[in-house]
Amino acid sequence: MKPAPFRYVRPASVAEAISILAAEGYGAKALAGGQSLIPAMNFRLAQPAVLVDLEALNELRYIREAEGGLVIGAMTRQADVERNAAVSERAPLLAEAMPWIAHVQIRNRGTVGGSLAHADPAAELPAVMQALQAQLRVRGPAGERTVSADDFYLGLFTTALAPDELLTAIEIPALPERTGCAFEEVSRRHGDFALVGVCAVVTRDAGGACSRAAITLLSVGDGPVRAQKAEEALVGRPPTGDAIHDAAEAAATRDIDPPSDIHASAAYRRQLARVLTTRALTTAAGRAAGG
Ligand SMILES: Cc1cc2nc3c(=O)[nH]c(=O)nc-3n(C[C@H](O)[C@H](O)[C@H](O)COP(=O)(O)OP(=O)(O)OC[C@H]3O[C@@H](n4cnc5c(N)ncnc54)[C@H](O)[C@@H]3O)c2cc1C
């Protein structure tokens, strides 16, 4: 298939891109790496009248260290995040999840902002950013606002972005002391979208108990799912055997309502959620203890 006819513009600045989006309204679409939008256009699932190419916006391409955390420009390539030493050191969950995204050729073109804005429920980055409690910077004609990754996802392929707004950057806060992270995923073949994925961030107090947990799942709902019941089952207890078992059970049975589709049944996805949550929490808790 070929895309429906469209007009192509290549703004030189974020301000120019936003004014074009504002003028064109729902007919316009931002183009980042094109790894999701172009296939959707080729299948005519998306038929924008105007394609606003963000390729020239180098001002959105950076990884900066900030107050123990990171700020990543929306147009930063996924491959550049994957290979960045500061990301490995300050956001190890993000570094661990990156190789699970598609294939290296796709990560060479695909951007962090594009993946977050696309809001595919099977994508790794939305769940990672929720687990890391990231804040997303969004700019539109009225100026800049910040939206938490928890509030950014509204439903299937739907975010809090207005048609005339761009995601410009992602702020990842510093991890507290005695925090460990882990990412687990099962897909049919390497590079395929996840059947289920789990992100775990566990913080332990001086006595070894879990003082804070962030657990998110992907490919089990309309968007990334924060497993709040699982988190409640863990906090205040030593993150070992029984507590991890209870958290994984809560994640699989109470936090998620996974779909059945041609790739996997809902029951299979629940079982994967149970197993992968157990693995992710065990690894994260071990890392939090310095293991
Ligand atoms: C074969 C294949 C396998 C894949 N497997 C995976 C996988 O396993 N996991 C995974 O997560 N992804 C996967 N992807 C998708 C890939 O990660 C894409 O790169 C990503 O989803 C979109 O990023 P992009 O930069 O290419 O965005 P684009 O395709 O250019 O844009 C995607 C959407 O986001 C909007 N957008 C982009 N940037 C902005 C911005 N700054 N502000 C506002 N809106 C914006 C666009 O308007 C569009 O609606 C796969 C893709 C392919 C082709």
Q: pLDDT tens digits, residue range 241-251?
A: 999 999 999 99
At residue 191, the pLDDT reads 87
Ligand 1 centroid to 251 CA: how many Å? 27
User: Does residue 140 carry a pLDDT above 90?
Assistant: yes
Residue nearest to atom 46 of ligand 1 (CA): 30
pTM: 0.97
Residue nearest to atom 39 of ligand 1 (CA): 114
Retrieve residue 201's tokens.
Answer: 């961030």
Atom of ligand 1 nearest to the CA of 192: 8
Instruction: With cut-offs at 50, 70 and 90, classify the pLDDT of residue 291.
Output: low
Across the chain, mean pLDDT equals 97
User: Does residue 161 carry a pLDDT above 90?
Assistant: yes
Residue 207 CB-half CA count within 13 A? 7
